[in-house]
């Protein structure tokens, strides 16, 4: 074994550290780091762990509020939902691994976010996901998507946490950059939230869960003959998930947490043992000393470097109160798990790593966490923007007949039914699922209370591409509008910011503007962001996917018996359009599907109007006035009305007021324009006045546009019938669009 | 009435079964850990859904060796009512308490959706409150629910009226399209020859309340109460005492 020169360009490059960062390490330590220390710094100072490019901007987001019990900085955020309970939730990405190995990449993404939730002492009760893929015409994309869906199902179904909702959108730009964002929510007692802290000098540090292997070790060590010939063997960079082990960990950890013998606990996710030890120490203002020789190992001959950097799945680090160790160990033994004492909490604030008693690393915890580098990366408006924002409808020629466009949009994978996907997810385990996938946003009841939670994840990357500031606001608006449609008051948000390479000033500009927009929208709608995740470098061969800041929103429904779903209920019910329709086709599904364009300005958004609309939706649900509610998104009000008829409801006959648009695009803009802050609701015949008054009181434009019934989707513009399609036929197009691509692949 | 819900490592519908019994049904439910050796004074036993022991090797294959299974077998042999749901059904097959085996779903995908099943027989502890031919809408959630048995076993199942549930469409017809997993003869559930051990792939415990998608499954649990209180308390008492004395 040769000792490499840790300061050489080659070694620094493999660790993703700059010369300046190395200089900072030397000055913090007052000496050259050991190779193990360099590895520890490299993962903790990586973009993924340190948020070094994003942190200065994330700090501008609103994170506090009367309901916030835990904001950013812990394993997950938490908000008070009444009845002495807390909703603990977070969204996280697993984009890169899911591109390399779709099944395991997606599965371990699910595993990771579930651990974040139960680590806080909450029992996970719902999963959602937000996925992005390239075109389904591409067989590689289909294979990738099939693997991702199977992986999400494989993990969530086994561990027994229902996948109750989500969203999927398609765009060629995601071909080499699929996005796999997974959201998990759990419930805990509000005063029993567990934190990832190490404190109490002399308390034992325990390791529990899967053994540590060489999987997922920092890319730096993969071809590392010059570091250590014994570790030359290449290992997959993607970890392999074991939902059974995680299920045992989940049950055992929740049982241990009920004993009060625990000081703190953290899962070993990214950067594994390194991250969990130094973060717990830093949070508790304490030191942590461990001996890697005591860490259960799956392979022989692992070095301290490898053990500290391994990202083997399903592992937890916990600190037990002195004198209570046996109690903790006994609970793990019940579940056939072995809690192994690998170290102790110290007073010196250092992360001290020993290997058979010999110190191999000694670093102040805060040097790895709070004092990690921060960058204000330069940003400039992208060159593409001005041109992309120009849209001339006249240049598109005469539009196709509305009825043809309608069918094409129903068949667009972004609009079409996702049944082929969610049928592969167990969405009923736990017996809390009140709204089935495809019937609105996910809604889960909270057992032993009257309450329920409405959950939605949303983002339209096209809008963000065309105007990051407004696009991110629209993402907040859509996600919160979705929970409001079900009757949920938005009380908390988590974000997953998927962008390209932040070292490119135009990408950084997208990021900065999107964060500004998100912050402005969340402040205006009074929704604190309690945590989340940033995924940068979503680029392949220098080409990135659409900028995609996904919002996960939690909405509180006070009386679960008032939950509103998407479907029209009964012949004769009155259909009302809330909000204002303008001729806005910029960034629309229409332009993409019919003309292959991502062009124009996204729909304008007035946050005060959005807030008013959501108040009306929530009040209409609570008063049992609205029998159905569905927001207008991709495909405009025509698609919204059709979706309210799927599956098998009585149909709709509606007449929309024409919106003026240039060059003969009036009908198209009226039917398929994607103006923000709109929703379609239905009320029992005779209650329309009540609904219009409710909207009017809050200044929300509202118009009766038609009635439920007739077995057909009949849409007129200004009294002129333009679409007349049997519900069954329309639904078949919508239902088979995605499934048929995969059935063909399988056959 | 006291229901024991057996918890294997990897059970994930154990809480669902416990909740359905204790809340909508309103009877007593208690968890029994798989390493325990006695069911105690239970009047009925539920083997819940999940992926016991990770379903490594084959679904249900390792669970049959769990310590509690000896007492489950003794309870069943003595006539006590035993219900295996989904993974619990798979465990019963592996343990030989019910005949046949499970294959992967014919489309090879995990499948979760509400399906219709037709009640074929109502002379068992878990169908006693059903009308013959009654259609029940309940969710399935499995990757290996493709029931298989050879011709001789099938003939015996039919002759003994052991097929309790078949997948049907909304009109109550046994069609290929209504069969979500490729099960032979659309079989969704069956009982043993003595009729006290019942297994099925759909989840009645997850269809016990309208608020969460449907209440059709509750009738199966009500059946157990009906059967227990009206028809065979003596039989259960025998099963229980044999268990306690073990």
Domain of residue B101, CATH code: 3.40.50.880
**Paired residues of A184 in beta bridges:** A90, A127
End-to-end CA distance of chain A: 53
pLDDT over 90 for what percent of chain A?
A: 86
CA distance A69 to B15: 27
Using an 8 Å CB-CB cutoff, list chain B residues near A159: 12
The number of residues in chain A equals 747
Asked if the C-beta of B144 comes within 8 angstroms of chain A's C-beta atoms, the answer is no
Minimal Cα distance from B35: which residue of A?
Answer: A334
Model confidence at A253, in pLDDT bands (50, 70, 90)?
Answer: very high
Q: Is A94 a catalytic residue?
A: yes
Minimal Cα distance from B212: which residue of A?
Answer: A434
Instruction: Evaluate if residue B74 carries a pLDDT over 60.
Output: yes
CA distance B91 to B48: 10
Q: Do A336 and B54 touch (CB under 8 A)?
A: no
Give the tens place of pLDDT for each residue, A254-311. 999 999 999 999 999 888 999 999 999 999 999 999 999 999 999 999 999 999 999 8
Which among A154, A242, A429 is the nearest to B16, CB-wise?
A: A429
Q: How would you label B107-139 residue by residue, b for 16+ Cβ within 10 Å and e otherwise?
A: eebbbbebbbbbbbbbebbbbbbbeeebbbbbb
Question: Averaged over A417-434, what is the pLDDT?
Answer: 97
Give, in order, the Cα–Cα distances in Å from A60 to each of A57, A185, A428, A477, A514: 6, 25, 38, 19, 12
Give the tens place of pLDDT for each residue, A520-546. 999 999 999 999 999 998 888 888 899
CA distance B12 to A156: 11
Using an 8 Å CB-CB cutoff, list chain A residues near B9: 244, 247-248, 251, 335-336
Give the tens place of pLDDT for each residue, A8-52. 999 998 888 999 999 999 999 999 999 999 999 999 998 888 899
Asked if the C-beta of A492 comes within 8 angstroms of chain B's C-beta atoms, the answer is no
Give the tens place of pLDDT for each residue, A171-221. 999 998 999 999 999 999 999 999 899 999 999 999 999 999 988 776 433
User: How many folded domains does chain B comprise?
Assistant: 1
Average pLDDT, chain A: 93
Question: Averaged over A467-488, what is the pLDDT?
Answer: 98
Q: Of B87, B212, B216, which to mutate for an interface test with A (greatest number of A Cβ within 10 Å)?
A: B212
Q: Contact, B206 vs A431, CB < 8 A?
A: yes
**Paired residues of A630 in beta bridges:** A680
Q: Is B112 a catalytic residue?
A: no
Residue numbers of the domain that contains B152: 2-245
Question: Averaged over A707-715, what is the pLDDT?
Answer: 97
Would you state the pLDDT for residue A238? 67
CA distance A646 to A567: 7
Would you state the pLDDT for residue A593? 97
Higher pLDDT, A226 or B7: B7
Would you state the pLDDT for residue A1? 41
Across the A/B interface, how many CB contacts are shorter than 8 Å? 91
pLDDT over 90 for what percent of chain B?
A: 85
Query: Considering B86, B94, B120, B142, which one is annotated as catalytic?
Result: B86
Model confidence at A494, in pLDDT bands (50, 70, 90)?
Answer: very high
Would you state the pLDDT for residue B237? 61
Instruction: Evaluate if residue A429 carries a pLDDT over 90.
Output: yes
Burial, B17: exposed, middle or buried (Cβ in 10 Å; 0-12, 13-18, 19+)? buried
Which among A251, A423, A746 is the nearest to B112, CB-wise?
A: A423
Instruction: Evaluate if residue A675 carries a pLDDT over 50.
Output: yes
* Residue among A117, A138, A134 nearest A126 (CA): A117
Quote the minimal CA–CA distance from A431 to chain B in Å. 6
Question: Averaged over A475-498, what is the pLDDT?
Answer: 98
Q: Contact, A610 vs A517, CB < 8 A?
A: no
Asked if the C-beta of A447 comes within 8 angstroms of chain B's C-beta atoms, the answer is yes
ipTM associated with this complex? 0.93
Quote the minimal CA–CA distance from A561 to chain B in Å. 8
Q: Contact, A170 vs A134, CB < 8 A?
A: yes
CA distance A438 to A54: 34
Q: Contact, B71 vs B65, CB < 8 A?
A: no
Q: Which residue has the tokens 């996702």?
A: A418
Q: Which residue has the tokens 């700090």?
A: A59
Instruction: Evaluate if residue A235 carries a pLDDT over 50.
Output: no
Quote the minimal CA–CA distance from A94 to chain B in Å. 22
Would you state the pLDDT for residue A3? 63
Minimal Cα distance from B110: which residue of A?
Answer: A424
One DSSP character per residue, A609-673 reads HHHHHHHHHHHHHHTT--SEEEE--TTHHHHHHHHTTTTT---EEEEEPPPP-STT-HHHHHHH-
Which among B16, B53, B109 is the nearest to A424, CB-wise?
A: B109
Question: Averaged over B136-165, what is the pLDDT?
Answer: 97
* Residue among B43, B40, B7, B5 nearest B21 (CA): B5
Give the tens place of pLDDT for each residue, A106-117. 999 999 999 999
Give the tens place of pLDDT for each residue, A356-384. 999 999 999 999 999 999 999 999 999 99
């Amino acid at each position: 074994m040769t000792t490499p020169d840790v300061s050489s360009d080659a070694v620094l490059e493999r660790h993703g550290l700059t010369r300046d960062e190395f200089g900072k390490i030397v000055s913090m330590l007052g000496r050259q780091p050991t190779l193990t220390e360099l590895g520890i710094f490299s993962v903790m100072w990586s973009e993924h762990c340190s948020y070094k490019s994003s942190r200065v901007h994330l700090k501008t987001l609103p994170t506090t509020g009367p309901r916030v019990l835990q904001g950013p900085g812990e394993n997950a955020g938490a908000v008070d939902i009444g009845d002495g309970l807390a909703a603990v939730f977070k969204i996280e990405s697993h984009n890169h691994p899911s591109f390399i190995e779709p099944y395991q990449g997606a599965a371990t993404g699910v595993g990771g976010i579930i651990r974040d939730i139960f680590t806080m002492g909450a029992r996970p009760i719902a999963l959602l996901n937000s996925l992005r893929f390239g075109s389904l015409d591409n067989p590689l994309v289909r294979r990738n998507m099939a693997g991702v869906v199977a992986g999400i199902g494989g993990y969530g179904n086994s561990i027994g946490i229902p996948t109750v909702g989500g969203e999927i959108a398609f765009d060629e730009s995601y071909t080499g950059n699929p996005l796999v964002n997974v959201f998990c929510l759990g419930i805990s007692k509000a005063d029993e939230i567990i934190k990832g802290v190490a404190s109490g000098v002399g308390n034992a540090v325990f390791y529990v869960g899967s053994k540590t292997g060489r999987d997922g070790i920092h890319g730096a060590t993969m071809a590392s003959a010059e570091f250590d010939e014994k570790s030359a063997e290449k290992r997959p960079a993607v970890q392999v998930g074991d939902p059974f082990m995680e299920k045992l960990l989940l049950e055992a950890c929740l049982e241990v947490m009920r004993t009060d013998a625990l000081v703190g606990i953290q899962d070993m996710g990214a950067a594994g043992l390194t991250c969990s030890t130094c973060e717990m120490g830093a949070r508790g203002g304490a030191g942590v000393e461990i001996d890697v020789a005591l860490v259960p190992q799956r392979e022989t001959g692992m070095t301290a470097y490898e053990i500290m950097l391994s990202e083997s799945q399903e592992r937890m680090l916990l600190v037990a109160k002195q004198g209570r160790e046996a109690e903790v160990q006994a609970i793990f033994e019940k579940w056939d798990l072995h809690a192994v004492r690998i170290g102790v909490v110290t007073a010196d604030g250092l992360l001290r790593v020993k290997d058979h008693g010999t110190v191999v690393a000694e670093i102040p915890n805060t040097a790895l966490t709070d004092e990690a580098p921060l960058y204000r990366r330069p940003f400039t408006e992208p060159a593409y923007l001005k041109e992309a924002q120009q849209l001339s409808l006249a240049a598109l020629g005469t539009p196709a007949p509305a009825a043809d466009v309608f069918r094409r949009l129903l068949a667009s994978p972004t609009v079409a039914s996702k049944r082929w996907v969610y049928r592969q997810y167990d969405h009923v385990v736990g017996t809390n699922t009140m709204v089935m996938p495809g019937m609105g946003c996910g809604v889960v009841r909270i057992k032993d209370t009257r309450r329920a939670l409405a959950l939605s994840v949303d983002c339209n990357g096209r809008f963000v591409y065309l105007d990051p500031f407004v696009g991110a606001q629209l993402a907040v608006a859509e996600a919160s509008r979705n929970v409001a449609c079900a009757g949920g008051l938005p009380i908390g948000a988590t974000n997953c910011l998927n962008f390209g390479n932040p070292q490119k000033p135009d990408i950084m500009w997208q990021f900065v503007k999107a964060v500004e927009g998100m912050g402005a929208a969340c402040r205006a709608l009074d929704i604190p962001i309690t945590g989340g995740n940033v995924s940068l470098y979503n680029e392949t061969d220098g080409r990135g996917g659409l900028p995609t800041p996904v919002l996960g929103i939690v909405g509180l429904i006070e009386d679960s018996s008032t939950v509103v779903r998407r479907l029209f209920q009964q012949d004769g019910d009155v259909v009302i359009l809330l909000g204002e329709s303008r001729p806005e086709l910029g960034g629309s599904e229409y332009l993409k599907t019919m003309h292959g364009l991502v062009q124009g300005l996204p729909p304008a958004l007035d946050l005060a109007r959005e807030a008013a609309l959501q108040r009306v939706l929530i009040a209409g649900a609570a008063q049992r006035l609205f029998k159905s509610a569905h927001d207008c998104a991709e495909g405009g009000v025509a698609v919204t009305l059709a979706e309210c008829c799927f599956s098998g409801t009585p149909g709709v006959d509606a007449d929309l007021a024409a919106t003026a648009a240039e060059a003969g695009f009036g009908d198209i803009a009226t039917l398929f324009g994607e103006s923000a802050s709109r929703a379609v609701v239905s009320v029992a015949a005779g209650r329309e006045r009540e609904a219009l008054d409710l909207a009017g009181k809050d200044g929300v434009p509202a118009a009766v546009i038609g009635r439920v019934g007739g077995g057909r989707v009949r849409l007129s513009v200004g009294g002129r019938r333009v679409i007349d399609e049997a519900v069954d036929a329309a639904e078949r197009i919508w239902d088979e669009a995605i499934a048929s691509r995969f059935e063909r692949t399988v056959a | 009435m006291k229901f024991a819900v057996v918890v294997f490592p990897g059970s994930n519908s154990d809480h669902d079964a416990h909740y359905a019994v204790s809340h909508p049904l309103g009877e007593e439910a208690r968890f029994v850990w798989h390493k325990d050796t006695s069911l105690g004074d239970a009047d009925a036993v539920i083997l819940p859904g999940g992926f016991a022991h990770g379903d490594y090797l084959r679904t249900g294959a390792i669970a049959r060796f769990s310590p509690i299974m000896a007492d489950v077998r003794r309870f069943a042999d003595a006539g006590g009512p035993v219900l295996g749901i989904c993974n619990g059904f798979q465990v019963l097959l592996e343990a030989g308490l019910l005949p046949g085996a499970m294959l992967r779903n014919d489309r090879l995908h995990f499948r979760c959706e509400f399906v219709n099943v037709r009640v074929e027989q109502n002379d068992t502890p878990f169908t006693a409150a059903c009308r013959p031919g009654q259609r029940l809408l309940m969710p399935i959630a499995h990757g290996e629910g493709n029931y298989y048995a050879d011709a001789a076993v099938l003939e015996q199942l039919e002759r003994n009226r052991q097929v309790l549930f078949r997948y049907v469409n909304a009109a109550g017809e046994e069609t290929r399209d209504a069969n979500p997993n490729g099960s032979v003869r659309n079989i969704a559930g069956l009982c043993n020859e003595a009729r006290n051990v019942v297994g099925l792939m759909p989840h009645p415990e997850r269809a016990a309340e309208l608020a969460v998608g449907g209440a059709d499954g509750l009738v199966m649990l009500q059946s157990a109460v009906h059967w227990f209180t009206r028809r065979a308390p003596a039989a259960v008492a025998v099963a229980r005492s044999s268990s306690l004395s073990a």
